[in-house]
Structure 1
Amino acid sequence: MVLLALALLTVGTYAAKAAGLLVATDRELPLGLRRAVDLLPAALLAALVVTQTVADGQALHLDARIAGVAAAGLAVWLRAPFAVVVVAGMATTAGLRALGVG
């Protein structure tokens, strides 16, 4: 279900971007607006990750998953390869769960 929502949001985002460019073919977007539009898919993905990590529709859950996302975020900030980012988040979450944190 989450993957379907992610796919639909991705297609919708790019369709909206394409529609704007098709409507205004003779004009170019200002640089600041172009940068903002280019960042929309990443912002939507980040919002989905955070929502799926801390909420279940009824309440917020602050547990080992938050630390895993933080570790992955730190790895991204340090420009680690994608595999390292995934392993850092996974290992942090698994390690804290093994210690009984969440």
Structure 2
Amino acid sequence: MNLWTTVLLASVISFATKFAGYVVPQAILDHPLTDRVMHYLPVALLSALIAVQTFTAGSGSITLDARAAGLAVAMICLLLRAPFLAVVVAAAVTTALLRAAGIG
């Protein structure tokens, strides 16, 4: 099973659990473990998609290039509580400059 199949399968499972919320009794949905899992599942899926797009090349091998540097800059900006637009612009500019310099 390749990485995209895993991501798609996780997305289907996430959708199915959201849909099941309409038919599952409220007592099960109010359980603390269920609440914790459903609270963090979208974050985990988004993180997986970001990791796949940042650290893989066309052949599926792990690579470090300008995209990883852009992600690092975005993480630093988020830690400094920069506005979202500033985070996106800083990451894009970093990636573009490194690619223009021939590094990535």
Describe the superposition over 1:49-89 as per-residue Cα deviations: whole angstroms up to 9, x where unpaired: 11012113432221111000111122222222221111011
Please list the CA deviations of residues 6-63 of structure 1 after superposition, one character each: whole Å capped at 9, or x if unmatched.
8x93x75254134146313234533354233211101101111110121134322211
2:36 aligned with 1:35:
yes
Contact 2:21 2:29 in 1 (8 A): no
Number of residue pairs aligned between Structure 1 and Structure 2: 97
Structure 1, unpaired ranges of 5+: none
1:80 aligns with 2:74: no
Structure 2 unaligned segments of length 5 or more: list them: none
Map 1:46-85 → 2, pairs under 5 A:
46-55=47-56, 56-85=58-87
Q: Percent identity?
A: 43
Corresponding letter in the other structure for 1:54: F
Match status 1:98 vs 2:100: yes
Deviates more, 1:81-90 or 1:54-63: 54-63
Deviates more, 1:54-63 or 1:23-32: 23-32
Contact 2:28 2:34 in 1 (8 A): no
Residue identity opposite 2:18 in structure 1: K
Aligned 8 A contact 2:74 2:90 in 1 = yes
Q: Which runs of 4+ in 1 moved over 4 A?
A: none
* RMSD across aligned positions (CA): 2.8
Q: Where do residues 3-42 of structure 1 align in structure 2 (5 Å cutoff)?
A: 9=11, 13-20=14-21, 22-42=23-43
